[in-house]
Amino acid sequence: MEEPFFFSNKNYRLFSILHHPADPKSLHGETGVVFCDPFAEEKLWAHRVFVNFARLLSKNSYWVLRFDCMGHGDSDGNYEDANVETQLSDIRRAVGVLKEKARVKNVMLLGARFGGTLSALAAANVDEVDGMVLWSPVVNGEKYFQDCLRSNLTTQMTTYRKINYTREQMVRDLLGGKAVNIDGYLISPEFYKQISRIRLNEVMPSCKKPLLMIQIHKEENARIDKEVQELQGALKQAGRPAQFGTVKGEPFWRELNTFPQRLDALFATTLDWINRQNDPAVSGSGDPSRLTETRAGTEKGSD
Amino acid sequence: MNLEKAVTFRNNKGQLLFGILHLPESPKLKSRIGINILNPGLKNRVAPNRINVKMARMFCDMGFHVLRVDPFGIGDSEGELAAHESVMDLWGMIQRGLFVPDTLAANDFFVREARLEKLILIGQCGAAVTGMLVGGKDDRVESLILVDSPVRLLSSQVDMSDILAEISRPGEMMLYYLRKVFSGRSWLNLIRFQSDFGGLRKLFARMTHPRSSRNQGNASDAPGVSERFNKKFLDAFRRFTDRNKNVYFLFAANDFSLQEFRQDMQAHFLDRHPEYRSRCRIDIIDDANHVYTEEKWQHELLHYMKSWLERYRQAC
């Protein structure tokens, strides 16, 4: 069963869909997963993969809450009114709503791209969150935002055949209090300032909650990105319970020549890890040998 | 205050479809008119840069009931689109009517739920084609607003670079390749000689021999209609306008669909049949691209629609 509804946070309403577990009496029924969407237009491209993974989890008797942050999707507000703080507030509220409606004991966050980043930040600060799954998260907010600004340049080039408004000008405008357009979404100066300060390497080592981070690459056996390797090193040094891996798949948060609806390897690996958090004795269809564990300075697996 | 309500209903295959119903606080219209904003193709009911949400809220403020629904296999709805190697195959299927049954089901639901008398359909890109096909079938549809309606089928028999070379302006091809310039993986492909050199060759060919010099013309010496012209679109257009109903076409100046429309629909058909031309209004948004990235383009699009609907509302 999938139940669409709106819930309130502060003075606005957020759209959400609650996926009920196939067997609510199952041990898995004590766990719920809140999905955290990617940034701006990446959310739309990723949507169907999120829906299908939510359905897989609910078939495996987990509760899932998917929701739209303020100013995004079907929720109230405009994107220019949103920022990192409002999105973290929305995630915190979504966790509370899942606990109220499903009466679950454990809540995990699952996010892709910037949604992964938000998941990590929320997990570090919200007591009710017990673990997190990050799919190709944004590790360095400033670098990511500069990449986003490049898409504005691409639009200018194709429209006007020249760059009228450079990245430096856009950043100056943001710092001067003017919103900037990224793929049709107005980004407020506050959002820019908050996103630019994010460095997961600095935040995550203090978080003791279980973590699965999967990088999605087009090629088999791709190396984990340098930034993620550094993050892995920082977590290892701090003795945190984290697992890292890569899976082959299309970057489903971008416009592609195909319409990805599910990534089998990503789904199997993630489901297997979530199953293990609920029952360490379980063996699943995922391939845990592809994951590298960083807990307490030990490493296993081969990536 | 207007109300936005999450709704579900089943299509004729029994699949659950998800949508949002926008209910005006005070319907300011004499007759109960609903606007069904169709899903833009493969993205969900929100549409690129949430333009469908912005539209829906504006129309609801004007007193219209508004519905936005995901058809099967899209957004939150049940069902699965068949796996295809290329997204172009899916677009081609949409242009042939893939989402027509679900749009008819949405119209049924909308009329029943909001106790409506008349419907207006609004669609962009693939949804514009769906809107036209549904308009030809459903007598409850009073008017159509079609944005960037592609009138040529995207065939599965041609590759991306062929389609881009055939239907795009050099600017759109530039956009496609510029995205690759900013992608590290594309540089890797270049080093490995796995790049799309055929597409690049076509881009240079188009830039050195622009389309305007090849087949520019007026209605009297119009080029032949493309073999990919979607005849279903024309049939539906004739059926719809034969019932004395009007179609409002809006185009982004930088969108491929405008040139196709001018060549195949306008020059070949509308300009030769004034009785049909009089049923249409065509407006073009300067500089705009296919997804109306800049705010001024979005505002202009919404302004055109609002003006059209205000005239329609006064006429009711």
Tens of pLDDT along B192-203?
A: 555 555 555 555
Q: How confident is the model at residue B111 (pLDDT cuts 50, 70, 90)?
A: very high
Torsion, Cα B194 B198 B199 B201, to 10 degrees, reads 120
Torsion, Cα B287 B236 B100 B150, to 10 degrees, reads -20
User: Taking the mean position of all CA atoms in its chain, how far away is CA A302?
Assistant: 25
Give the residue on A whose Cα is nearest the Cα of B48. Answer: A41
Q: Please give the pLDDT value at position B195.
A: 57
User: What is the helix (H) or strand (E) element at residue A63, kind and residue range?
Assistant: strand A63-67
Q: How confident is the model at residue B126 (pLDDT cuts 50, 70, 90)?
A: very high
SS3 B120: strand
Instruction: Specify whether the CB–CB gap between B99 and B130 falls below 8 A.
Output: yes
Residues of B in contact with A45 (CB under 8 A): 43
Token pair for A97: 């709503």
Q: Please give the pLDDT value at position B102.
A: 97
Ramachandran region, residue B122 (left: φ > 0; alpha: ψ -120 to 50; beta: rest): beta
Percentage of the residues of chain B whose pLDDT score is greater than 90: 66
Per-chain mean pLDDT for chain B = 84
Q: Which of A172-176, B23-27, B152-156, B215-219 has the lowest mean pLDDT?
A: B215-219
Chain B: closest CA distance from residue A241 (Å):
32
Residues of B in contact with A261 (CB under 8 A): 73, 80-81, 83
User: B292, A184: Cβ pair inside 8 Å?
Assistant: yes
Compare CB distances from B172 to A74, A158, A181 and report the shortest one's residue. Answer: A158
Q: Please give the pLDDT value at position A293.
A: 62
Residues of A in contact with B295 (CB under 8 A): 181, 186
The pTM of the whole model exceeds 0.80 = yes
Residues of A in contact with B80 (CB under 8 A): 261
Give the residue on B whose Cα is nearest the Cα of A6. Answer: B6
ipTM value greater than 0.95: no
SS3 B43: coil
Q: Please give the pLDDT value at position B166.
A: 37
Q: Does A13 touch chain B (CB under 8 A)?
A: yes
Residues of A in contact with B160 (CB under 8 A): 257
CA atoms within 13 A on the CB side of B226: 22
Q: How confident is the model at residue B171 (pLDDT cuts 50, 70, 90)?
A: low
Q: Does A8 touch chain B (CB under 8 A)?
A: no
Give the residue on A whose Cα is nearest the Cα of B86. Answer: A258
Question: What tens digit of pLDDT does each residue of B45-77 get?
Answer: 999 999 999 999 999 999 999 999 999 999 999
Q: Please give the pLDDT value at position B217.
A: 33
Give the residue on B whose Cα is nearest the Cα of A222. Answer: B185
Question: What tens digit of pLDDT does each residue of B261-305 get?
Answer: 999 999 989 999 999 999 999 999 999 999 999 999 999 999 999
Question: What tens digit of pLDDT does each residue of B31-42 get?
Answer: 689 999 999 888
Chain A: closest CA distance from residue B149 (Å):
20
Taking CA atoms, B17 is separated from A70, A72, B7, B118, in Å, by 23, 20, 8, 22
SS3 B227: coil
Give mean pLDDT, residues B23-27.
Answer: 82
Q: Which residues of chain A have pLDDT under 50?
A: 285, 289, 296-303
Q: Please give the pLDDT value at position A299.
A: 38
Q: Please give the pLDDT value at position B200.
A: 58
Token pair for A189: 């100066």
Q: Please give the pLDDT value at position A37.
A: 98
